[in-house]
Amino acid sequence: MQKRRILLIVLALGILIVWRQMHKEDEPKTIHITGTTMGVVPYSIKYMDLAGRDLQNDIDSLLVDFNNSLSTYIPNSEISTFNTTDTATYLTPYLYPMLMTSREIYDKSNGAFDPTIGPLVNAWGFGPEKKISLDSSLIDSLIVNIGFDKVTFDATSAKKNKGVVLDFSATAKGYAVDVIADYILANGIKNFMVEIGGEVVCRGKNENGTYWKIGIEKPEMTPEVGNLFATTFIKNTALATSGNYRNYYQEEGRIISHTISPYTGYSVRHHLLSASIYAPNCALADGYATACMVLGVEKSIKLLEATPEIDGFLIFSKEDGSLDTYISLGVQPVVEIIK
């Protein structure tokens, strides 16, 4: 009886091994591609595909087209031409959706997110042009042309006031993530992660059958960057993080961050160090993260509470220099702070 039982077990295992070998081709293959876009911005894309297709060439071509539309670093891009001529008839599928998304965030954030802030960002030394010597009168002259209400558009064309300069750098990475995510979905792939420069969209589950897990950096202005402050599961949504702890310089003993307030024309000064925003798409997440970094802690919390389609994870400093957090109710179950 014992021998028979062992024989049956061996036979069952043999059948299982043969069955798995026969159906191995039915298992999706994990594809991981990496590269750079927008000059030096790294991207990482992972997806599970039954056919094992390598989509990198198509993805790189899409990113080149995207850059040729919305990059202010390219003199003849669609956005650069619009900035020069003040009128645009859309040549690509990218400009109009970016204008619509910008209008939504601009209105809901009361102008904290403003894609016309570019001239001030450049003047402070965070754009494609060299930093210039600034004083209050020059800032006042630049701020006259700030305001997305000076841009009008419909589904076919756009125009703006003379002197207004559009710059979508605050949302470009997020929007590029959406473009690639849509392309992957259109190819019938349902489980994937697209990350460009830290902005991410995740759909379905990873190769282990669990939701995608993303790290959120500790906001430290030290050479030892990259330490994680928290991890979060991403369940079929987008996540973008903005902070002042990476892109800054010191001038006369004062830290000048890359977040310039469209209200004042000066670098923001408050206790909010990092804003991670969850949204239905990454362009929205990216834009709202920027808005939060302009607004500071209290106003960001009010914005999050008034905008049901987004959630937020804010890291800020207290008066004694220690770190504290605010986590929206909707994402409290998926955020784990690393002790």
Confidence at residue 253, expressed as pLDDT on a 0 to 100 scale: 64
Residue ranges of the binding site: 170, 286, 290
Is 266 a residue whose pLDDT tops 90? no
CA 170 to chain centre: 8
pLDDT of residue 9: 57
Domain ranges of the chain: 29-337
Structure tokens at 30: 């994990």
pTM: 0.89
pLDDT, tens digit, 9 for 90 and up, residues 205-220: 999 999 999 999 998 7
Rg of the chain in Å (alpha carbons): 23
The pLDDT, as a whole number, for residue 268 is 87
Sheet containing strand 228-234, edge to edge, reads 212-217, 228-234, 335-337
pLDDT per position as a tens digit, 106-164: 999 999 999 999 888 888 777 766 666 777 888 888 999 999 999 999 999 999 999 99
Average pLDDT, the chain: 90
> pLDDT of 284-325, one tens digit each?
999 999 999 999 999 999 999 999 999 999 999 988 888 999
> Is residue 54 packed enough to be buried (19+ CB in 10 Å), middle (13-18) or exposed (0-12)?
exposed
Largest CA-CA distance found in the chain, in angstroms, rounded: 97
Residues with Cβ within 8 Å of 197's Cβ and at least 6 positions away in sequence, in order, are 38, 41, 42, 43, 173
Q: Would you say residue 195 has pLDDT above 60?
A: yes
Q: How many residues does the chain have?
A: 339
Give the per-residue pLDDT at 126.
77
pLDDT score for 227 = 87
Instruction: Please state which of the ranges 92-101, 103-112, 243-252, 330-339 shows the lowest mean pLDDT.
Output: 243-252
How remote is the C-alpha of 248 from its chain's centroid?
Answer: 19
Instruction: List, as residue ranges, the binding site for Mg(2+).
Output: 170, 286, 290
The full DSSP string for 263-277 is TTSSB--SSEEEEEE
The CATH number of domain 29-337, selected from 3.10.520.10, 1.20.140.90, 3.40.960.10, 3.40.50.720: 3.10.520.10
Question: Residue 303: phi, psi to the nearest 5?
Answer: -65, -45
Residues 232-252, mean pLDDT to the nearest whole number: 84
pLDDT in tens, 44-86: 999 999 999 999 999 999 999 999 999 999 999 999 999 999 9
pLDDT tier for residue 269 given thresholds of 50, 70 and 90: confident
Q: Is the pLDDT of residue 20 over 90?
A: no
